[in-house]
Amino acid sequence: MTHQYMEVNNKKVEITGNEKNILEVVRNMGIEIPTFCYHSELSVYGACRMCMVEDERGNLVASCSLKPQAGMKIKTHTKKIMDTRRMILELLLANHHQDCTTCEKSGNCKLQELAVNMGVKKVRFKPRKPWQDIDTSSASIVRDPNKCILCGDCVRMCSEVQGVGVLGFINRGPNINVVPAFDKPIADVDCVNCGQCVSICPTGALTIKDDTLKVWEALSDPKKKVVVQIAPAVRVAIGEEFNHTEGSNYLYKSVAALKMMGADYVFDTSFSADLTVVEEATEFLNRVVKGEKLPQFTSCCPGWVTYAEKNCPDLLSNLSSCKSPQQMFGAVFKKFFAKKMNIPTEDMYVVSVMPCTAKKFEAERPEMSTDSYQDVDAVITTVELARMIRKMGIKFEELEPASLDMPFGFSSGAGVIFGTSGGVAEAALRYAVEKLSGETLNEVNFREVRGLEGLKEATFNIHGKDIKLAVVSGLANTQQLIEKIRKKEVSYDFVEVMACPGGCIGGGGQPVPNTSETRVLRSKGLYDIDAKSTVKKAQNNPTIEKLYDEWLKTPNSDEAHYALHTHYGHKKRIGGMEIKDEAKENANEKIVISVCVGTNCYLKGSYDVLQELIGLAREHGIEDKVEFKGTFCLENCSNGPSIKVSDDLHKYGVQKEETQKFFNNVVLPRVK
């Protein structure tokens, strides 16, 4: 075998040909090259130029986009490179609102970190961008365009990993900006609140909406009984905020911190995950018996539910009607436990600590209420809890662990693994196999659905019946799977969907870096907890049994449906905007041609179709008889671009090259 070598800083380095780029070679040597726009899970963009290296001719080249070759000689930290990197940083800082001391990302900002490391203490360039309004329309995310450095990370994450594509570049040159679709507030577009854009943003341009002040107010209100639930994925990530080992279990230190802050009760969301298992698996078994509304999709991920409501109206009846574990916990506490403890519901304040930014949006949904009270009053993320701990002056590393409160502090291992991709499916299998077979399940580990691959498939023969499962994480992967299901290329009985890569462990509210390596350790931490649990099946949780005995009667009963189930409906994808052809404003009776310019259709060229139709109308002199509109949404998104003619004709899949034919066959005959 012939060995190949290149030189890095005058040192001979062997290369195999499998390296993605020079950046990878250099980092494998233990040399750090700064980057803003490079992420191993995204496409190579090469925009920030921070990763430039110098070749033997003195040329500066981007190491992220250059493949290593035998005989190549490069240097990583020459004076020329260092001066160039400092100048790039100065230019970025000049266009970045420098309110670092009050920024949400202060102390955890890549731009700030590199400026310190590179010795940039003065910015010689004047700002060129005028102040832009901060977008606080979302329940989950705050967008501050004044801090955007145009690295494009959020654009690629939203498009490539999540397949949603609500962020993009507009304008050119000095006027370039990253904005939501049609430069609208982020709450008015197709955003699913997953927060993956926040996880990857290197500055404070995209941050988690801070709800800690609401929690502090409740904690300081003597009338309020503050009840906190902690989600499974939080316990294996919170330690990262305090430089502890990734994937280690810090649940009980988190309980101690919350009790020091003044929380009256601290419980485990894994308890209500057990409850979700019983309700969701029972619902699934009923569907299997009836042979209808299969596959059943899980509904515990609010990012996925929002995506389905906006993009998959044809599959909404396939979603489980179960609320998520977060919402089930709030409902059980306010409807049952508060009465048992003789606490007025209005004095009960339920706080969720979640790995997920979409949980903030979910808690505000009108469907998530019981007896006119929202099930959950406030949601904070893992990162926000860490912020509260620091604000309180608590030395997390020195805390003595504290116990969860009872009765909702007890859970099975099945509830704990809800926090990782495949965990919901495995937990449901532990229940369904026993119910279908009528026998005690001794081997509870279903390793076929474990792992952090974007898509996992498995078939289990249960009491003579094959049950087909799919486990998918990341919405781009979900998109692809749904298309195959619609085309009947694949079929399943049960599909677990998590919006974030790797499931809740990779949620948008988790500490950064939120990389694949970190997610592997967090996932392992949850499975380790499950392995040590004395109770591994949700149906064996004695607190769940007691809950049914006292209040809920049986799984999927009327009482259970009232408190623990909900409904979903098709949501308008982009609101508040209508595009009109201004030349038609004075016409009397017109044929109205509505072209969908929602995200799906827009990406397939619907805006070009709209402009082409307007041009053809002018060319044929019928602009006074036809009114063209851009609209959102005509449904059937997968078959776009979609067009509606007045109120009686829908056409789907009209591509730009077919516009003339559509105009001749549909529009002109109606005018004449």
Domain containing residue 602: CATH number: 3.40.30.10
Check whether residue 380 and residue 252 sit in a common domain: yes
Distance between CA atoms of 207 and 88, rounded to whole angstroms? 24
Distance between CA atoms of 578 and 585, rounded to whole angstroms? 13
Is residue 280 part of the annotated active site? The answer reads yes
Is residue 359 part of the annotated active site? The answer reads yes
Q: Is 237 among the domain residues?
A: yes
Strand partners, 627: 592
Q: Is 83 among the domain residues?
A: no
pLDDT category, 450, cuts 50, 70, 90?
very high
Q: Is 572 among the domain residues?
A: no
Distance between CA atoms of 523 and 510, rounded to whole angstroms? 13
DSSP of 382-411: HHHHHHHHHHTT--GGGPPP-PPPSSTT--
Active-site hit among 201, 300, 500, 637: 300
Active-site hit among 24, 54, 240, 280: 280
pLDDT category, 635, cuts 50, 70, 90?
low
Strand partners, 349: 226
Q: Is 573 among the domain residues?
A: no
pLDDT at 3: 79
Is residue 489 part of the annotated active site? The answer reads no
Helices (H), 295-334: 302-311, 325-332
Buried b / exposed e along 359-391 (16+ C-beta atoms within 10 A) = bbbbbebeebbbeebbbbbbbbbbbbbbbbbee
Domain span holding position 615: 579-671
DSSP state of 319: B
Active-site hit among 312, 504, 596, 637: 504
Check whether residue 498 and residue 518 sit in a common domain: yes
Check whether residue 377 and residue 509 sit in a common domain: yes
Q: Is 122 among the domain residues?
A: yes
Check whether residue 400 and residue 532 sit in a common domain: yes
Question: In the chain, what percentage of residues exceed pLDDT 70?
Answer: 94
Check whether residue 108 and residue 52 sit in a common domain: no
DSSP of 559-604: HHHHHHB-------SS-S--EE-GGGTT-SS-EEEEEE-SHHHHHT
Q: Which of 116-130, 249-263, 374-388, 395-409 has the lowest mean pLDDT?
A: 116-130
Rg (C-alpha) for the chain, rounded Å, is 27
Check whether residue 52 and residue 119 sit in a common domain: no
Check whether residue 506 and residue 642 sit in a common domain: no
pTM over 0.85: no
Q: Is 359 among the domain residues?
A: yes
pLDDT at 582: 41
Q: Is 259 among the domain residues?
A: yes
The helix (run of H) or strand (run of E) holding residue 267 is strand 265-268
Check whether residue 369 and residue 258 sit in a common domain: yes
Active-site hit among 63, 272, 320, 412: 320
Geometric angle at alpha carbon 49, from 45 and 52, rounded to 5°: 115
Q: Is 82 among the domain residues?
A: no
* Number of domains making up the chain: 4
Check whether residue 41 and residue 129 sit in a common domain: no
Is residue 320 part of the annotated active site? The answer reads yes
pLDDT category, 193, cuts 50, 70, 90?
very high
Out of 77, 102, 119, a domain closes at 77
Out of 153, 187, 208, a domain closes at 208
pLDDT at 581: 40
Out of 184, 208, 232, a domain closes at 208
pLDDT at 611: 81
Which CATH number do you get for residue 391? Answer: 3.40.50.1780
Q: 3-class DSSP state for residue 353? A: strand
Residues 480-517: tens digit of each pLDDT: 999 999 999 999 999 999 999 999 999 999 999 888 99
Distance between CA atoms of 374 and 326, rounded to whole angstroms? 12
Which residues, including other chains, have CB under 8 Å from residue 386's CB and lie 6 or more apart?
Answer: 238, 241, 242, 396, 511
Active-site hit among 279, 283, 426, 627: 283
> Residues 588-592: what's their mean pLDDT?
71
Active-site hit among 56, 367, 545, 578: 367
Which residues, including other chains, have CB under 8 Å from residue 242's CB and lie 6 or more apart?
Answer: 386, 396, 397
Check whether residue 332 and residue 467 sit in a common domain: yes
Check whether residue 386 and residue 500 sit in a common domain: yes
> Residues 102-120: what's their mean pLDDT?
81
Q: Which amino acid is at 9?
A: N
608, exposed or middle or buried, with CB in 10 Å at 0-12, 13-18, 19+?
middle
Residues 149-166: tens digit of each pLDDT: 888 899 999 999 999 999
Distance between CA atoms of 322 and 310, rounded to whole angstroms? 19
Check whether residue 121 and residue 182 sit in a common domain: yes
Pair type for strands 141-143 and 626-631 = unpaired
Active-site hit among 24, 104, 309, 362: 362
